[in-house]
Structure 1
């Protein structure tokens, strides 16, 4: 098959492109700069530019399109609306009508979410369902793997920055992280067959953790021993906006909103439908934080 992947040079994109290539497909890895990265053939594809999307589709004539492009924080013209909603609209309009379409959303996607990120993901899902395409939507939880942003940067900085580790509130909100390998296998399975046609799947791992447990796991992987100190929600609500005045805040307002909501769901039926390996976070966290050190 010929498969076009938007966001194909990012952390998740490289894993999915690599899995598709390993399965024998001809794969183009789209990015705004058309840069080399990973196993796929590079192609310029800027989802905020309809002409760029149409040109990439015309060049590749894909049998399937995997749409991954997303941002964690807004910056300038790269807003959640421009990238997640309008970008998805541009891609949907360009996909050949007979092609498979596989969409990267996020667990917690909801048009009514307090998080601008999650709300925009919800609006994008609505566009997909109304597109008339042969689609599958995946909603991953926190994705872990060497090079990830949350465990390799956000959580690592949170437990490393001070003599104590700040815990948001009582630390009981739940998460069910999923490995990038599981995510890649699910996306590849949906792209190359009609498995999961016109369905939406949560992508979560085999084990659930509280936020406090994630802090403890991160400390252990880093070989650090520090006290974990609960910070009342009311104080965090004041501190996070101040942090966001910094050029590179340790946590964005949207990340904070999502943390408070938690991020969990059962791993069925995706685990069975796509025969996922269900890799465990503790087995891979030492490699993730070691990779971040480099």
Structure 2
């Protein structure tokens, strides 16, 4: 048994990983800004953007391994991509005991999507991890699905539910390979126990690839609705998205738009070879996801 400190433990993915690591017999400390306990694991308050606070928490916990999940998909106030993804990761790395295992949550396309500060800062954080001198493993998941997820359970649901027609961005051909939260949790937990995965970065994607249009159709089907899908030309979206971002709560941010156009897919052969993954299918989970419960 090892002691594992999970940052961002109260989030959608953090809860799943905390539960899975405990299920495998390890001791978990759930770190978050709220300090809430998660799945029976004791909670501790942690703001990764505060270097001194981070150092004190790690000194108190003395973890054998760290699972670093903290990230944001939209900037709000002082919670910027730079502060959370880059400065936060730097602070966590500096506080981590030198002999500890370090498992890092990145994202598919990190550092590769022009116009996306999310992608750029995720890439910068990866670089910090890889130069840290720790025994690290990096995971780059695609869209993560499961009950309580933000994309399929909220963003896409709102998109297909609001209004008499469903807007389709461009030709709808952007490719995606969503992965279940169960697969993600299994990979993170198993990496803690498999030293041969240190020094490696793995794409985490599901068993099937879909176009954006296919995702819209699947979401409509799961909701039991039929609506016309109307393409919105990219030149029009290029003008509309910056205007929408002037609103307090934009339906799509500049970063999300840039990442959507880039698609989000990669082969999963290396991850499947390294870990025992359930490879759950999106179609099987969508009805529960749109209901918001199992």
Deviates more, 1:224-233 or 1:241-250: 241-250
RMSD: 1.3
Q: How does 1:95-110 map to 2 (within 5 A)?
A: 95-110=96-111
CA contact (8 A) 1:176 1:263 kept: yes
Whole-Å separation in 2 of the counterparts to 1:45 and 1:260: 34
State the Cα distance separating 1:37 from its structure 2 match.
3.2
What's 1:263 paired with? 264
CA contact (8 A) 2:206 2:279 kept: yes
Matched, 1:194 2:192: no
Whole-Å separation in 2 of the counterparts to 1:39 and 1:261: 39
State the Cα distance separating 1:193 from its structure 2 match.
2.9
SS in 1 for 2:47: coil
State the Cα distance separating 1:52 from its structure 2 match.
1.7
SS in 2 for 1:269: helix
For normalisation by structure 2, the TM-score amounts to 0.97
State the Cα distance separating 1:118 from its structure 2 match.
0.5
Runs of 4+ that moved beyond 6 A: none
Whole-Å separation in 2 of the counterparts to 1:44 and 1:216: 41
CA contact (8 A) 2:113 2:258 kept: no
Q: How does 1:16-165 map to 2 (within 5 A)?
A: 16-110=17-111, 113-165=114-166
CA contact (8 A) 1:9 1:38 kept: no
What's 2:280 paired with? 279
Runs of at least 5 residues in structure 1 that lack an aligned partner in the other structure? none
What's 2:219 paired with? 218
* Cα deviations by residue, 1:163-202 (Å, 9 ceiling, x for unpaired): 0000000000100000000000000011233141100000
Whole-Å separation in 2 of the counterparts to 1:211 and 1:271: 24
SS in 2 for 1:136: strand
Whole-Å separation in 2 of the counterparts to 1:88 and 1:264: 25
CA contact (8 A) 1:111 1:121 kept: no
Deviates more, 1:249-258 or 1:37-46: 37-46
SS in 1 for 2:29: strand
* Cα deviations by residue, 1:90-139 (Å, 9 ceiling, x for unpaired): 00001110100000000000166321100100000010111111000000
* Cα deviations by residue, 1:130-150 (Å, 9 ceiling, x for unpaired): 111100000000000000000
Deviates more, 1:7-16 or 1:110-119: 110-119
For normalisation by structure 1, the TM-score amounts to 0.97
